[in-house]
Structure 1
Amino acid sequence: MKKIFTLATVAVLSLSLIAGCGTSGGTSSNGASSSGEIKVGGLFEKTGGAAQYGTAGLNGALLAIEQQNANGGVLGGKQIKLIEADNKSEPGESTAQASRLITSEKVVAMLGPMTTKTLKAIIPVVTQYKVPLVTPSGTDAALTVTDGKLNQWIFRACFIDDFQGNVGATFAADTLRAKKAAIVIDTNGDYAKGLAKAFEDTFVKAGGQIVAKENYVAGDKAFQPILGRIKAQNPDVIYVPGYYNEVGLIVKQARELSITVPMLGGDGWNGDETTKIAGANYMTNVYYSDHVAMDDPSLVEFAKQYQAKYNETPTGFSALGYDAAKMMIKAIETAGSTDPEKVRTALEGLKGLKGVTGDITVDAATHNPSKSAVVLHYQDGKWAFASRVNPK
C-alpha cells in the first residue's frame, strides 16, 4: 500500500546486499537448521504509522505457527520459528531488516510486510537471495507483477487494490444507488491512488459521474476546505480510499460540516481504528471493503482462539496474517523441503487452502489469490457484514 521505491532506497539496498545469493550456512539439505528448527522471517510494521496493521498481522501469523508446532510441526516434526523484525513502517528500515533476516538469521522464507511501500523496498532483496515471501495485505497489483513481469518470489494472501476499488464502486452503484460520487485521495499513496482509479473506472462504466476529486497528503489534519468544495457538488456518496489516521478525521470533519451522505473506503480504514479517531457518533452511514467479516459464523473458532491468546478481538489483518502463515506452512509441507525453489513452486500450485479469510487458490501467472471481498458497515455500535462481492 503506499509510495514508490526510490533511488535512495536503491542506494541503501546496494550497501546491504554484500553477501552472495542463497541462504546457505547452518542448514541441512532440506533447508532446516541443524537444530531441527525451520527459521521463517516475520518482517512486520511493529512500530510507526502502520503499526496497527503490522501488529495484527504478526499476531495472526504467530497463532498459526503456534498451532502448527503444537500439532507436530512440519517435515517430520521440525518446529517453525518465526524470527521477528520491525521495519518501523519505513522502506529503508524494511530493506535493512530483510537483508539481516536473510544473511544473518538465515531464514528460509518470509512473512510480511503489510503495506505496499515497505514491501516494494524489499522485492530486490528477496529476489536476489531467492527467498519466497507471502505478504498478508500488500494489495498493490504491481507488487507481484511489475510492468508485465512476474516477481517470482512474491506472493500474497489478499486480493488487490483494483478489486477493492471495483467492490466499492459496485456497492455504491448497485446497493446505495448512487449516481454522483466524490473521491478524496492521498496523493502520496499508491494504495489510495490504485483504489481511487479502480473506483472511478468502475463507477463511470456503471453510468455514474465523478463530480469532485480532492487531494491530501498523509499527515494532514484539516480537511474542511476540501470537504467544503465536495459539499458544494452535492454528491450521493464520498469514496475515501486512505488509511485510518486521516480517514477518521475526514469522516469526523465531514459530519461536523453536516455532510450526511454515505462514505466508504477500503481495508485501510481498519474499522475500529477509524471509529476511535472519528468518534462513534459520527459513524452513521459509513462502509468499507475488507477481507473478512468478523461476525461471519465460520470465523467463530478463529476469533475465540485469537481472543484467548491476545486478549483482544481479531481484525481482518489478523486473519490475513494467519492465512499468510498457513500458505507458507502448506507450501513447505507440499514441497517436502524448505528448498526455496520447491517452496516457490508449491506456492504457485496452491489450490483450495481453507483459510479463515476464505478458500485460497493462487493464480500462478500473477501470484494473487482468487477470493471474495466483504463490505462492512457501522451499526449498533460495531462493524457488521453488509454485503459480499465475488471475483468475476
Structure 2
Amino acid sequence: MRKKWMGLLLSAVMVTGLVAGCGSSTGSDSKEIKIGANFELTGGVANFGKQTVNGIMLAFKEVNEAGGVNGKKLVLVQADNKSEPSEAANAVTKLITQDKVSAVLGPVTSSDVLATLQIGQDNKVPIITPTGTNPNITVDNGQVRPYAFRGCFIDPFQGQVMANFAAKTLKAKTAVIYIDSSSDYSKGLSESFEAAFTKNGGQIIGKEAFLQKDQDFKATLTKIKGMNPDVVFIPAYYEEVGKINKQARELGITVPLLGTDGWDDSKLVEIAGAAALNNGFFSNHYSPEDKDPRVVKFVEAYKKEYNEAPSALAALGYDTALMLIDAIKRAGSDDPGKIRDALEKTKDLQVVTGVLTLDENHNPVKSAVVIEMKDGKQVFREKVNP
C-alpha cells in the first residue's frame, strides 16, 4: 500500500511539473524577462545578423549591470534563421511557442521579417526588426500590423535620400537601376528611388536584375556600360554588391555607383577591393564619425566589448533593444500585450541614431546619412532629415 501511495505521489509531482513547464517562464514571479533574437547567424547575410545581435547584447549587458528592467534580468534567447525566410518562420515559432519569450527582435532582412509576422500576430507577441526597411513589414494592404514594429527608417525614405543625392548633389540626369530580384528589400528600394529620381527631373534609362548568390555579373554590366548612365543604383547586400562593384570597374564603368544600408559591412571592401569602391555612395542610419556624445560613448563601449568599430547594423540593434527596454519599463510588465501597447506610444526616445518616435504605422521618424567610400574607408558625406 505504501508503494502504491508513493507511486501516486510521484505521478502527481510529475504531472505538476509538466503543467508548470507549459506556462511562460517569464511570468510575474520570474526574475527574468526572456526576449527572442531571430537573426541571420549563418548564410548569405550572417555578418549583418551577428553585428545586430552584438548591438542588442551590449544594450542588455549595460541594462542588466545597472539593475535590470523592473527588477528583472533580461535574457536573450537566440535562434539562427540561416538567412532564409522559411527558417525565419521556424525560428520565430520556436521562440514563441517553446521558449515563451515576451517579444522577438529580428530578423535583419525584409524577406526574413515578412515570413515571421503572421506567426507573431497569431500568438500576439510583438516582433521588432531593427533593420527591415520594407514598408509592408508594418503595414499590410493599408492596415497597420498591430504586433509588428521596427527601429529603422523605411525604404521610401532611403530611396528618396539616394535619389535626391544623385540628382541634387551629383547632378545626375540619367540612372540605371540594378536590383536583386529575389529580395523584397531590393525591389522596394528600386521603386522609391525611381519615383523620387523622376520627380527630380531625372530619367531611368534601364532596369536590370540579378539573383542572390550570383557570381558573374559581367554580361549585364557590359549592357549597362553601353547605356552610358550618369549613375547606377544598386540597392542590395554586400556579398553581391562587392562583386558587382569589382566587375563594373574592371569593365571600365567609372560613374558613381550608389547603394543603401545593405552595403554597410567591412566584408564589402574584402570582396570588391578598396579602389573599386571609390566614387561609391550609400545611405545609412548613422556614422561612427559623428561627434554626438551618445555616438562617441556607444562607439567606445562597442569597441571595448568586441574589439571592432560598430556598423550601422550594430547601432540599430543597440537602439532597438533600448526601444524595447523603454517599452517594458513603461508597461511595468513582461506581458507581450502590454509591451505592444507601450511600444506603440514610443516618443522622443534618445538613442544612438537620433531621437526616436514611432509614427502611426509603427515606423520611426529619424534622420539618415550619406556615406562615401574613399580608399576602403567610410567617410561621412551629408546628413538628411525626414
Instruction: State the TM-score, normalizing by the size of structure 1.
Output: 0.90
Match of 2:189, as an amino acid?
L
| Distance in 1 between residues matched to 2:117 and 2:179, nearest whole Å | 26
Residue of structure 2 in register with 1:43 after alignment: 38
The corresponding residue for 2:357 is 361
In structure 2, what is the equivalent of residue 269 of structure 1? Answer: 263
Q: What per-residue deviation string (whole Å, max 9, x for no partner) do you get for residues 94-128 of structure 1? A: 11221111121111111111111211111111111
User: Which ranges of 4 or more aligned residues in structure 1 deviate by more than 2 Å?
Assistant: none
Deviation at 1:58, TM superposition (A): 0.4
Q: Is the 8 A contact 1:46 1:54 kept in 2?
A: yes
- Mapped to 2, the partners of 1:177 and 1:348 lie a distance apart of 40
Q: 1:186 to 1:380 in 2, by over 3 A?
A: closer
Question: Secondary structure of 1:64's partner?
Answer: helix
Give the Cα–Cα distance (whole angstroms) in 1 for the partners of residues 183 and 126 of structure 2. 26
Aligned residue-pair number: 364
Q: Is the 8 A contact 1:271 1:383 kept in 2?
A: no
Matches within 5 A, 1:34-73: 34-73=29-68
* 2:371 alignment counterpart: 376
Q: Percent identity?
A: 49
Matches for 1:10-25 after TM superposition, within 5 Å: 25=23
Is the 1:24–1:106 Cα contact (8 Å) retained in structure 2?
no
Counterpart in the other structure of 2:296: 300
Q: Which residue in 1 is equivalent to 2:328?
A: 332
- Structure (1 or 2) with the larger CA radius of gyration: 2
Deviation digits for residues 174-200 of structure 1, max 9, x if unmatched?
100101111111112111111111111
Pick one of 248, 255, 259 that aligns with 2:249.
Answer: 255
Q: CA deviation digits over 1:130-183, x for unaligned, max 9?
A: 111211101110010011111111100001111111111000001001011111
Measure the CA separation in 2 of the matches of 1:58 and 1:26.
23
**3-state SS in 1 of match to 2:77:** strand
Q: Classify the secondary structure of the residue corresponding to 2:209.
A: strand
Root-mean-square deviation over aligned CA pairs = 1.4
Offset at residue 379 of structure 1 (A)? 2.2
Deviation per CA, 1:9-54, whole angstroms, max 9, x where unpaired?
xxxxxxxxxxxxxx971457xx44x340111111111111111110
Aligned residue number for residue 139 of structure 2: 145
TM-score by length of 2: 0.92
SS in 1 for 2:74: strand
Structure 1 gaps, min length 5? 1-22
Instruction: Identify the match of residue 159 of structure 2 among 156, 162, 165.
Output: 165
Residues 1:123 and 2:102 aligned together: no
1:13 counterpart residue number: none
Is contact 1:331-1:347 (8 Å) kept? yes
Superposed displacement of residue 85, structure 1 = 1.0
The amino acid that maps onto 2:159 is G
Cα displacement string for residues 51-99 of structure 1 (whole angstroms, at most 9, x for unaligned residues)? 1110011010000011001111111x21111111111111222112211
Listed one character per residue, the Cα deviations across residues 338-371 of structure 1 (whole Å, up to 9, x for unaligned) are 12222111111101111111110001x2100000
